[in-house]
């Protein structure tokens, strides 16, 4: 599968404003498409179901259930997502493409067993007031979502962004269609529609992998051998996902901000909607992130390490290193600038946008903070991406662990300090993590030649 960088470079060869606009639009759709499609689909399912689902409160219950399923499936599979991506990259570097498919099947087998052993007993026990069908659908959806994240992260690591976007569109399109047809089935009907859409999404991504990476073996567990799955990457995936969801869990279960929804699940009316909407503002930053990292930075990154491996002159190695450092810093600063502009636009037009969406203006202060936090999250991703390219796994582990701990601690503190500081915990946790990350990145880039030659 061709990398996204090749596609973007082809689009930008024209060196005209139209070609650059097309490249950034393409990058924005590819990088943010699955996330945006997920948000829009869940919102639309609620909209089309409200007139017919009785009582209408069940629509909010459905959205809460789906949110929890997504959160816990991401946290659980965070243990293997990054580690298996690295395993796959190592096998591709060794030109052992034939090992990808059987080991993916082996990983999916373990994920299905682990998620099933967690979800089915929990679903049966935690929702005694719900029907057996609901509890079985709840557990099955969790298992399928876990498989979706594992498969999607492999396709992302293989740069198959188009396949991910197309299959997300197909899966959520199916969920929308079935939600319209099954909306009279109330909560069970909506959950069945969502489950079916996720299953279609999973099958579509597996089809792409089966077609692109054929193998004589169907299932292998080579990735379980010692040294194949890096512990640092497993912990990084866990901490990152815990960090992303920590503030949400605090607001859901804190007695001052949470309210009961269904079974053991709670939600926060004051917090959830602004957070949901704020993530739509990350599209410009994600476009910049993808273009700058996958074109300019990767180009000089490849030249630098090719020169190191192939015996390039010292002057050329220094030159490529300087260009790589420049493009890394420029890329991060460009993300900051674009997200800053996006934030200003939302702050200026926020009241009108909320009025247009028929959302109470009381949500505007928190929406403003969350838009800033979402922009900081894109910057944080840019930093982590550079560290991953430099293979600084301990740095990434430190930063994600710091982010998770700060988000949990500062969010609890912000609730104690009062409503005017809601959302600041998440934003400050990202800001501090970014500041630490930038200091570490400057230090590592200054020592890059030494560590490249002396520590190998």
DSSP 36-75: HHHHHHHHHHHHHHTTTSSSTHHHHHHHHHHHHHHHHHHH
Residue 116 pLDDT class (50, 70, 90 cuts): very high
Q: Is residue 111 within 8 Å of residue 265, measured between CB atoms?
A: no
132-153 pLDDT per residue, tens: 999 999 999 999 999 998 888 7
384-423 pLDDT per residue, tens: 988 988 888 999 999 999 999 999 999 999 999 988 889 8
Same domain flag for 296 and 207: no
Q: Compare 276 and 125 and report the one with higher pLDDT.
A: 125
Q: Which two tokens stand for residue 34?
A: 């699955």
Asked whether residue 402 is assigned to any structural domain, the reply reads: yes
Same domain flag for 315 and 400: yes
In this prediction, residues 27-47 reach a mean pLDDT of 64
Same domain flag for 30 and 170: yes
pLDDT at position 349 = 81
Domain stops at, among 229, 261, 292: 229
Residue 425 pLDDT class (50, 70, 90 cuts): very high
**Whole-angstrom Cα distance, residue 39 to residue 106?**
31
Q: Compare 4 and 307 and report the one with higher pLDDT.
A: 307
pTM of the model: 0.86
pLDDT at position 41 = 72
Same domain flag for 291 and 425: yes
pLDDT at position 33 = 53
Domain stops at, among 205, 229, 253: 229
Name the helix (H) or strand (E) containing 265: strand 265-267
- Is the pLDDT at 76 greater than 60? The verdict is yes
Residue 14 pLDDT class (50, 70, 90 cuts): low
Same domain flag for 186 and 318: no
Q: Compare 106 and 24 and report the one with higher pLDDT.
A: 106
pLDDT at position 397 = 95
In this prediction, residues 213-233 reach a mean pLDDT of 87
pLDDT at position 7 = 52
Same domain flag for 222 and 301: no
Asked whether residue 263 is assigned to any structural domain, the reply reads: no
Range of the domain at 402: 275-454
160-204 pLDDT per residue, tens: 667 777 888 888 888 888 887 877 767 888 899 899 999 998 999
Asked whether residue 245 is assigned to any structural domain, the reply reads: no
Task: Tell me the average pLDDT of the chain.
Answer: 82
Our count of domains for the chain comes to 2
Asked whether residue 286 is assigned to any structural domain, the reply reads: yes
Three-state SS string over 193-251 comes to HHHHHHHHHHHHHHHHHHHHCCCCCCCCCHHHCCCCCCHHHHHHHHHHHHHHHHHHHHH
In this prediction, residues 285-303 reach a mean pLDDT of 74
pLDDT at position 2 = 37
- Is the pLDDT at 339 greater than 70? The verdict is yes
- Is the pLDDT at 282 greater than 60? The verdict is yes
pLDDT at position 413 = 95
Same domain flag for 299 and 400: yes
Asked whether residue 267 is assigned to any structural domain, the reply reads: no
Q: Compare 275 and 373 and report the one with higher pLDDT.
A: 373
**Whole-angstrom Cα distance, residue 77 to residue 245?**
14
Asked whether residue 408 is assigned to any structural domain, the reply reads: yes
228-257 pLDDT per residue, tens: 888 999 999 999 999 999 999 999 999 998
Q: Is residue 139 within 8 Å of residue 120, measured between CB atoms?
A: yes
Same domain flag for 312 and 197: no
- Is the pLDDT at 444 greater than 60? The verdict is yes
In this prediction, residues 67-90 reach a mean pLDDT of 89
Same domain flag for 171 and 295: no
pLDDT at position 1 = 32
Q: Which residue has the tokens 């901490």?
A: 239
Domain stops at, among 212, 229, 246: 229
Asked whether residue 52 is assigned to any structural domain, the reply reads: yes
Same domain flag for 143 and 283: no
Same domain flag for 223 and 284: no
pLDDT at position 317 = 82
pLDDT at position 368 = 86
pLDDT at position 62 = 86
Name the helix (H) or strand (E) containing 5: helix 4-12
pLDDT at position 377 = 87
Share of the chain above pLDDT 70, in %: 85
Asked whether residue 240 is assigned to any structural domain, the reply reads: no
- Is the pLDDT at 13 greater than 60? The verdict is no
Same domain flag for 323 and 383: yes
Name the β-bridge partners of 260: 266
């Amino acid at each position: 599968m061709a990398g996204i960088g090749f596609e973007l470079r082809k689009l930008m060869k024209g060196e005209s404003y139209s070609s650059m606009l097309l490249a950034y639009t393409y990058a924005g759709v590819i990088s943010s498409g699955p996330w945006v499609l997920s948000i829009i689909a869940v919102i639309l399912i609620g909209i089309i179901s409200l007139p017919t689902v009785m009582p209408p409160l069940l629509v909010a219950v459905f959205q809460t259930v789906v949110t929890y399923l997504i959160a816990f499936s991401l946290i659980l599979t965070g243990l293997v997502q990054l580690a298996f991506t690295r395993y796959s990259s190592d096998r591709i570097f060794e030109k052992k493409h034939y090992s990808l498919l059987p080991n993916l099947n082996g990983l999916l087998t373990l994920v299905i067993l682990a998620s099933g052993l967690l979800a089915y007993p929990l679903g049966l026990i935690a929702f005694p007031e719900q029907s057996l069908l609901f509890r079985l659908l709840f557990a099955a959806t969790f298992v399928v979502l876990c498989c979706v994240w594992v498969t999607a992260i492999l396709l992302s690591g293989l740069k198959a962004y188009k396949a991910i976007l197309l299959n997300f569109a197909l899966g959520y399109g199916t969920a929308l269609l079935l939600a319209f047809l099954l909306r009279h089935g109330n909560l069970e009907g909506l959950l069945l529609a969502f489950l079916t859409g996720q299953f279609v999404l999973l099958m579509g991504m597996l089809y792409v992998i089966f077609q692109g990476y054929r193998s004589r073996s169907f299932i292998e567990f080579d990735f379980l051998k010692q040294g194949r799955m890096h512990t640092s990457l497993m912990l990084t995936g866990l901490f990152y996902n815990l960090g992303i969801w920590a503030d949400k869990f605090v607001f859901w279960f804190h007695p001052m901000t949470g309210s009961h929804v269904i079974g053991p699940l709670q939600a926060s009316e004051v917090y959830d909607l602004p957070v949901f909407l704020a993530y739509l503002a990350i599209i410009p930053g994600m476009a910049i992130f993808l273009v700058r990292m996958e074109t300019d930075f990767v180009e000089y990154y490849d030249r630098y390490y090719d020169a190191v491996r192939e015996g390039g002159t010292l002057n050329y190695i220094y030159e490529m290193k300087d260009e790589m450092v420049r493009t890394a810093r420029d890329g991060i600063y460009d993300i900051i600038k674009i997200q800053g502009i996006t934030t200003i636009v939302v702050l200026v037009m926020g009241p009108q946008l909320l009025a247009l969406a028929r959302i109470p203006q009381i949500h505007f202060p928190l929406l403003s903070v969350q838009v800033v936090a979402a922009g900081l999250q894109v910057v944080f991703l840019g930093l982590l991406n550079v560290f991953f390219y430099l293979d600084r796994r301990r740095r990434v582990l430190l930063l994600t662990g710091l982010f998770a701990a700060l988000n949990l601690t500062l969010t609890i503190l912000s609730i104690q300090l009062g409503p005017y500081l809601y959302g600041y915990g998440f934003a400050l946790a990202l800001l501090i993590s970014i500041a630490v990350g930038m200091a570490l990145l400057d230090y590592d880039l200054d020592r890059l030649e030494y560590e490249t030659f002396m520590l190998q």
